[in-house]
Amino acid sequence: MSNALERGRAVLADLNPTVEGVLAERYDGLVPDMAESLVEWAYGRHYARGKVDLKTRQLCTVAALTALGGQTTPQLKINIANTRQAGASQEEIAEVIWQMALYGGLPAAINGLNAAREVFAEE
């Protein structure tokens, strides 16, 4: 097992410990080792890096997914929940999403706020 995979699993243990299993069940039949690759690359090589804390990285992820628009709603909702686990308040998340109205447009921000409302309602 690579160090990056171990680091990625450690990050997910705090944010969303079931995500690797869910991804493996859903996608590994189509793309073998997809879940492990995502954990290693995204979480082990990016989220686990120093210099920027996990909460900030998660807020950046929410911003990017919001700006990309409605097609990212499933990933946005997962990352909003992860961002809450990383210590961000509902208000911080809503403000980051609203800021993306400038860069992704109002429809993208509204879609992001709708996703946030759904996640917050489940808390």
Query: Residue 97: which of 113, 85, 86 has the closest Cα?
Result: 113
Q: Do residue 35 and residue 86 come from a single domain?
A: no
CB 112 within 8 A of CB 76: yes
Give the CA angle between residues 103, 108, 86 to the nearest 5°: 85
Q: Do residue 37 and residue 72 come from a single domain?
A: no
Chunked mean pLDDT (size 10), the chain, 123 residues: 90 94 96 97 94 96 96 96 98 98 97 98 97
CATH classification of the domain holding 100: 1.20.1290.10
pLDDT score for 50: 87
pLDDT score for 36: 96
pLDDT score for 1: 62
CB neighbour class for 112 (10 Å; exposed up to 12, middle 13-18, buried from 19): buried
Number of domains in the chain: 2
Q: Do residue 70 and residue 100 come from a single domain?
A: yes
Give the CA angle between residues 98, 43, 22 to the nearest 5°: 90
**Strand (E) positions, the chain?**
none
Q: Do residue 84 and residue 104 come from a single domain?
A: yes
Q: Do residue 60 and residue 111 come from a single domain?
A: yes
Tell me which residue range forms the domain holding 24. 1-49
Q: Do residue 71 and residue 40 come from a single domain?
A: no
pLDDT score for 23: 95
Which residues have a Cβ under 8 Å from the Cβ of 33 and sit 6 or more positions away? none
Question: Maximum Cα–Cα distance for the chain, whole Å?
Answer: 44
Q: Do residue 61 and residue 114 come from a single domain?
A: yes
